Amino acid sequence: MSKKVKFVWTPKKAATAISAYMVGLFFIYPYINMLLTSLKPHGELYATPTTRLPKSWQFNNYLEVWSKAPVGNFLKASIVVSVCATLLVLLVSVPAAYYVARNRFKGRAAFLLLVLATQMFSPTALIIGIFREVKFFGQLDTWPALIVVNAGFNLAFAVWLLSGFFASVPVEIEEAAMVDGCTRFQALRRIVLPVTLPGLVTAVIFTFVSTWNEFTVALTIISSPARQPISTGITTFVGQYDVAWEYLFTTTAIAIVPVVILFISIEKYLVGGLTAGSVK
């Protein structure tokens, strides 16, 4: 439609475009500042007069940081916890979303309301209860505790998003497959899953990124430095007097850039999943 119409610059359109570019720059600027600071030598951090660009570009910071702090450990913890939480969410949400999309059963509305409610509760409000429960199971300072809690709070997004996708696959196609001799599980795997792939990818990326970024639970239940994920691990750099900002920011850059790219790739579906079908 309007996308194919050739764009003609007018003063008004130029003003719109320029203000939009400024808005974009504004929101990305802190991260540009982070990247520039991550490339400065320590001595330039507080130099006067302050400069925005590094005078001597220290790309070496990105090599040295690995030995300055256990960045490798942090990343490993974040990757293990995020991947496992994502798998757990998939394992639990796919059957639930599929069943909810295909069947009207007693308690369906109640189940959906419960799921929706969990999306609204962040672990922060329940943190004391979570801490005591994890302690009760003897799982303080372990990854499994972090994995299960993160999976629980990200379940809602996946269930709502996926049930929408499943509902969009005509039952007839599935039934035809079953007439041709597929079992219900085979029909699900061979017919429905491929069609709902964008939804699955979105659920995977969303869960991964939000577990990756989770802070409060990790801060509360993981105490040993060796098991910290990157979101709490970065606080290692924030010493009392002389913060190693250049290494701090190489680490945050390593942590932020990949998840930003992942998030941008699912832009189209984000709003739908987060607002649970209430906004089109």
> Which residues are CB-contacts of 243 (< 8 A; sequence separation ≥ 6)?
237
Smallest distance, Å, CB 64 to other proteins? 19
- First CA to last CA distance, the chain: 20
Q: Does 42 bind other proteins (CB under 8 A)?
A: no
C-beta separation of 79 from 123 below 8 A? no
Q: Does 197 bind other proteins (CB under 8 A)?
A: no
Q: Does 61 bind other proteins (CB under 8 A)?
A: no
Q: How many amino acids of this chain bind other proteins (CB under 8 A)? A: 101
Smallest distance, Å, CB 47 to other proteins? 8
Q: Does 21 bind other proteins (CB under 8 A)?
A: yes
Smallest distance, Å, CB 50 to other proteins? 5
Out of 58, 80, 201, 215, the residue judged to bind other proteins by CB under 8 A? 215
C-beta separation of 202 from 161 below 8 A? yes
Smallest distance, Å, CB 72 to other proteins? 18
Q: Does 41 bind other proteins (CB under 8 A)?
A: no
C-beta separation of 61 from 246 below 8 A? yes
Q: Does 23 bind other proteins (CB under 8 A)?
A: yes
Span 68-127, contacts to other proteins by CB under 8 A: 88, 91-93, 95-96, 98-100, 103, 105, 107-108, 111, 113-118, 120-122, 124-127
Token representation of residue 171: 């039952």
Q: Where are the alpha helices (DSSP H) in the chain?
A: 11-38, 61-68, 71-102, 108-120, 127-136, 143-167, 171-179, 184-187, 193-195, 197-213, 216-221, 230-233, 245-265, 267-274
